[in-house]
A and B are shown apart, each in its own frame.
Chain A
Amino acid sequence: MDDAPLRLGELVLRSRLIVGTGKYPSFEVMREALAASGTEMVTVAVRRIPLGSSEPTLLDFIDRERIHILPNTAGCTTAAEAVRTAMLAREAGLSSLIKLEVIGDPKTLMPDVVATLEAARTLVAEGFTVLPYVTDDIVLARRLEEIGCAAVMPLAAPIGSGLGIRNPYNLVLIKEAVSVPVIVDAGVGTASDAAECMELGADGVLMNTAIACAREPVRMAHAMRLAVEAGRQAYLAGRIPKKLYATASSPIEGLLEPVLRPGS
């Protein structure tokens, strides 16, 4: 069914599923999973190169004709580190998008939103298309939009937790509050979680662990593709209101009359 594409800055995506490239059993499985997911954008991390290695690298397994690269600032805990990482990522020459991630707590991996806002301001000024990973906070989402972020990416639950949407109410409020795309990033555990994100009005979903660490990553990638599409279509179609009592689906008119048997 027809649908407007997802626009992130100047980038236009038909798939609303963004997939991470970490934690797969192998590069081969990752490549197959990316194909099954139908994704057009994958996240990658910036790390020191293994010196003198002639092993195949991640990028050898990503079909860059079809799939855009979204570098992240994962592992950064300060605004300065995140900006430095983003600058390196852009210089690597594949993208001026950045998934901005500044971690504030090592156990929950909750973002440091103050540092994220600070880094976002710098990166927007530097000309990046900034996609910040943040907590599901309506005020913060507005601030990030105001300073020029191309989307906001609230979490559904902690990174890698698979807990599903902890606060659907906040996601709906954020979607109402901003006009940039809202991409739910982190916390999806299975296909119904992804569908629910989309049914609530999210413009996209970003996930890694739910696919990469499933027993069958390729099959789960396919499931996520279907879930994101189904949830999106259900959102566009408009769900019925919830009601306490039943409403018959078959007409009352034209019902047969009860059979009257002689003697009864």
Chain B
Amino acid sequence: MSSNNTTTPLKVSLSSITPNNIGTVRKLNSVLFPIKYSEKFYKDIQAPEVEDFCKLGVFFSVTSDTLRAEQLITKYLVYYNDIPVGTICCRQETVDGQNVLYLMTMGILAPYRSRKLGSQTLSAILTAAAAHKPKVDKIYLHVQVSNEDAKRFYESHDFKEIRVHENYYKKITPADAWVLEKAFS
């Protein structure tokens, strides 16, 4: 299958998260997000069951069509000119018998924003998810209600707001979060 990102510049590449580059992920998360993630979070994203369907080579480029359906990657490091500048981490869940992908974190370092890196990264995930077998029914995520930009960003990728999760955040205000969702046909 081919990727739908034929127009993207070649500078961006993604690689999966492994125990060896987890230090980079930590570093990025500590700069990108207001929340300090628990040790469990880092353990989870390199857990063997997640690894199971992430048999991906260390490096691959979004522009090439190497994203194969059975290789759904739910966690990436984003590289720009060979420098790691962002991450994306998803988790597989089963909700009411449905196969669901939950987008836990996604972020790009400030100096590298507005260069469509986020879009390309998200597209890569969406493309892979759409082609994944067994079928992924939908993908959802939380956005803090103050973050209009983020909401717009996801909406431009066909996500729909379905509800407000009250008091979602414990340590930051506003504590409410939108739940955004995109179903795969």
Chains A and B form a bound pair = no
Chain B residues at the A interface, C-beta cutoff of 8 Å: none
